[in-house]
């Protein structure tokens, strides 16, 4: 217990992101999916990190410096929090890909996505999510290499250092490999455990704009990384990260604000057919009323003509 508390105190930012992920994932996808995804993703990432430390696959060869051994939890020569971070990075990337791939719906302050099982399992969502996870690492890994300049501390070094601010290209290829595996695990768990008419355990369908929470976590991780790069006086890396995300941010805003991105009544019905436990939510009533209203007026007009 002392070592666990010490780990949390030593890596508070990882703990905050982890707790945020657990809450958001449970709210959207339920308790079982969240717990199983966390365990399986941690196991995959730990195995890949152990392999990289010993033989260079899939991230390239690097070595951990055990200066924090005794101050935080280590598992098989890898810091516990390091492997655990893959869980919330993969989840946030998946929710962002789902947001940008689904029809949208907004009623007042309640913003929702009209996702379906076909969209959730779509290869484009899977591949986009893996790419978004690599994009995060383009910020996080160069920052981690400079851990001696901030409270992370000098944790590891690449053997040899790579061309992207000390990070080898193999690291990013490895991240895409691991991201593809972990996100596929999430898609499989979601379909296996949540498909049906029953609301996932502990999920909160009525919560307003819950679909934005995962992308907000993604944005928070990126903003934290870029802010820290400026704070530790690494402006060349920070500006490189800004220009990686600037066109992506503009594109995302365009997708979320254009009229064509918002679903019609058919899109709402497809969503509710796959997630029937949401039908009772009041957020859908105005849309249903708008669809029915023209038909009611036509029926009244026809009856008046027949009466005449």
For residue 274 the two structure tokens come to 């796959």
Helices (H), the chain: 2-10, 12-29, 31-55, 80-101, 117-120, 123-145, 169-194, 213-231, 235-257, 265-274, 285-307
Cis peptide before 75 (omega within 30 of 0): no
Going by C-beta distance under 8 Å and a sequence separation of 6 or more, which residues neighbour residue 208?
A: 109, 110, 111
Q: Token pair for residue 198?
A: 């029953």
Ordered mean pLDDT values, 10 residues apiece, the chain (308 residues): 83 94 98 97 97 96 88 91 95 98 95 97 97 97 95 90 97 97 97 94 96 98 97 97 97 95 96 95 80 46 44
SS3 66: helix
Distance CA 93, CA 218 (A): 7
Structural Rg of the chain based on CA atoms:
23
Residue 283 token pair: 């957020």
pLDDT at 305: 45
pTM of structure = 0.91
CA-angle at 93, arms to 172 and 278, nearest 5°: 160
Q: Which residue, among 261, 292, 244, 11, has the nearest Cα to 111 in the 3D structure?
A: 261
State the pLDDT at residue 292: 53
Strand partners, 126: none
Angle, CA of 135, 141 and 145, to the nearest 5° = 160
- Residue 291: what pLDDT? 53
* Per-residue pLDDT, 9: 85
């Amino acid at each position: 217990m002392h070592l666990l508390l010490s780990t949390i105190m030593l890596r508070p930012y990882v703990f905050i992101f982890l707790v945020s992920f657990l809450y958001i994932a449970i709210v959207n996808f339920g308790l079982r999916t969240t717990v199983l995804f966390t365990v399986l993703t941690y196991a995959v990432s730990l195995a890949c990190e152990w392999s990289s430390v010993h033989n260079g696959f899939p991230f390239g060869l690097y070595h951990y410096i055990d200066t924090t051994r005794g101050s935080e939890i280590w598992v098989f020569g890898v810091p516990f929090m390091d492997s655990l971070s893959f869980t919330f990075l993969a989840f946030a990337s998946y929710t962002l890909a789902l947001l940008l791939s689904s029809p949208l719906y907004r009623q007042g302050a309640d913003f929702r996505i009209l996702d379906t099982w076909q969209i959730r399992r779509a290869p484009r969502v899977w591949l986009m999510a893996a790419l978004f996870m690599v994009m995060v690492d383009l910020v996080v890994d160069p920052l981690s290499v400079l851990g001696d300049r901030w409270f992370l501390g000098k944790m590891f070094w690449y053997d040899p250092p790579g061309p992207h601010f000390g990070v080898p290209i193999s690291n990013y290829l490895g991240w895409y490999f691991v991201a593809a595996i972990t996100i596929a695990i999430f898609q499989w768990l979601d379909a296996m455990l949540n498909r049906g008419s029953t609301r996932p355990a502990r999920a909160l369908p009525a919560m307003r704009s819950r679909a934005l929470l995962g992308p907000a976590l993604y944005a928070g991780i990126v903003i934290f990384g870029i802010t820290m790069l400026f704070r530790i006086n690494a402006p060349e890396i920070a500006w490189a990260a800004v220009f990686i995300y600037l066109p992506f941010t503009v594109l995302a805003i365009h997708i979320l604000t254009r009229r064509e991105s918002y679903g019609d009544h058919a899109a709402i019905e497809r969503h509710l057919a796959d997630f029937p436990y949401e039908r009772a939510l009041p957020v859908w009533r105005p849309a249903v009323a708008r669809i029915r209203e023209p038909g009611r007026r036509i029926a009244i007009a026809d009856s008046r003509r027949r009466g005449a």
